[in-house]
């Protein structure tokens, strides 16, 4: 098990995503990437699906990444990094490489939940020794804030706009963390940048485990969420404290909740600061708010029951 790092120890490590990139001010994605790379004790090779993170961190011959980094298509970050990992294993068997190197794939929810799900599923099933990280901002933000299967129920997006008939997205978001865990991989987890210690511990644990690993990390987008540019961490914390985004891990099939709010906050605390949900606070949409709260409560209760199954 990797040593637990303190904030002081992390502050002394080199930041491998340099400043000066073109991500929007206050974006959650670069915060997530910095935390992930700070957590590793090993050299890291990364692949990065086309999306906000890729197009804004590498312009022509200039890149913000200080590690070996591969830009691939929207749909194949997992396939790319699994291929690199397979090449690495071959070179190690031949004695041409002796260094212990870790492989991480990064993709947004559009490139992970949707268009990249097939390559992700394949890499997990084949058992590659890699960690895939989804930075989840809940829509196709880079191309204009279109809905994805990660978009929450009721959200206003450009392809599912609020109108006189349709109150935003009418479907619930996909539970990708559990879908990937169902591949019988050794480790899957959810994390949030608001709880940095939990996030770092999970990355470090994942990198010590052999085989395929997956982490779903919330990454607020103030452009798509229509929120303040300085509230990524505050919104991430509210997502956790309302149990919209519970923090848990599934290790060898065993579920463990890694943070339980002392007082579970109502979901409206998370929704109110976001312009994409402002229509839900009209009197005629009270039933929609009640439905969202009910869905969050059910999922939280289900998760607690899953944990209880392994603690008794």
308 class by beta-carbon count within 10 Å (0-12 exposed, 13-18 middle, 19+ buried):
exposed
Q: Classify each residue of 127-156 as buried b or exposed e, where b means 16 or more C-beta atoms within 10 Å of its C-beta.
A: ebbbbbbbbbbbbbbbeebbbbbbbbbbbb
The strand pairing partners of 140, in sequence order, are 146
- CB-based contact 105:128 (threshold 8 Å): no
pLDDT given at position 312 = 60
Q: Which of 36, 71, 37, 35 is nearest to 53 (CA)?
A: 71
How many angstroms separate the CA atoms of 293 and 288, rounded? 9
The strand pairing partners of 190, in sequence order, are 216
Could you say which residues of the chain have pLDDT below 50?
Answer: none
Determine what percent of the chain is predicted with pLDDT higher than 70: 99
- CB-based contact 47:81 (threshold 8 Å): yes
Q: Which two structure tokens, joined as six digits, stand for 8?
A: 């002081």
- CB-based contact 217:12 (threshold 8 Å): no
Total-model pTM: 0.96
- 32-67 pLDDT, tens digit each: 999 999 999 999 999 999 999 999 999 888 899 999
pLDDT given at position 280 = 97
Helix, strand or coil, per DSSP, at residue 107: strand
> Which residues fall within 8 angstroms of residue 192, CB to CB, at 6 or more apart?
198, 199, 217, 218, 236, 237, 239, 240, 245, 247
Domains defined along the chain, listed by start: 13-311 (3.40.50.970)
Q: Which two structure tokens, joined as six digits, stand for 45?
A: 């090779």
- CB-based contact 189:255 (threshold 8 Å): no
Q: Please give the span between the terminal C-alpha atoms of the chain, in angstroms, as a whole number.
A: 24
15 class by beta-carbon count within 10 Å (0-12 exposed, 13-18 middle, 19+ buried):
middle
pLDDT given at position 20 = 86
């Amino acid at each position: 098990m990797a040593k637990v790092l303190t904030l002081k120890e992390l502050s002394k490590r080199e930041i491998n995503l340099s400043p000066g990139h073109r991500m929007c001010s206050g974006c959650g994605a670069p915060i997530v990437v910095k935390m992930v790379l700070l957590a590793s004790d090993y050299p890291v090779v990364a692949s990065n699906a086309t999306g906000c993170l890729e197009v804004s961190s590498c312009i022509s011959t200039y890149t913000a990444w200080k590690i070996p980094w591969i830009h691939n298509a929207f749909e194949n970050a997992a396939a790319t990094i699994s291929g690199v990992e397979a090449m690495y294993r071959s070179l190690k068997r031949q004695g041409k490489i002796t260094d212990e190197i870790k492989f991480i794939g990064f993709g947004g929810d559009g490139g992970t939940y949707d268009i990249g799900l097939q390559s992700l599923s394949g890499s997990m099933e084949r058992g590659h020794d890699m960690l895939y990280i989804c930075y989840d901002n809940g829509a196709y933000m880079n191309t204009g804030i279109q809905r994805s299967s990660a978009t929450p129920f009721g959200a206003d997006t450009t392809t599912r706009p609020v109108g006189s008939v349709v109150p935003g997205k009418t479907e619930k978001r996909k539970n990708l963390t559990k879908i990937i865990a169902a591949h019988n991989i050794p480790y899957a987890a959810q994390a949030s940048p608001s709880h940095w210690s939990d996030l770092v511990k999970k990355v470090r644990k994942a990198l010590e485990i052999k085989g395929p690993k997956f982490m779903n990390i919330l990454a607020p987008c103030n452009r798509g969420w229509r929120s303040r540019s300085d509230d990524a961490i505050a919104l991430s914390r509210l997502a956790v404290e309302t149990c919209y985004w519970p923090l848990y891990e599934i290790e060898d099939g065993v579920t463990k909740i890694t943070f339980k709010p002392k007082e579970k906050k109502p979901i409206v605390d998370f929704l109110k600061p976001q312009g994409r949900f402002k229509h839900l606070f009209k009197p005629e949409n009270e039933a929609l708010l009640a439905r969202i709260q009910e869905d969050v409560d059910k999922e939280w209760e289900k998760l607690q029951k899953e944990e209880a199954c392994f603690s008794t």
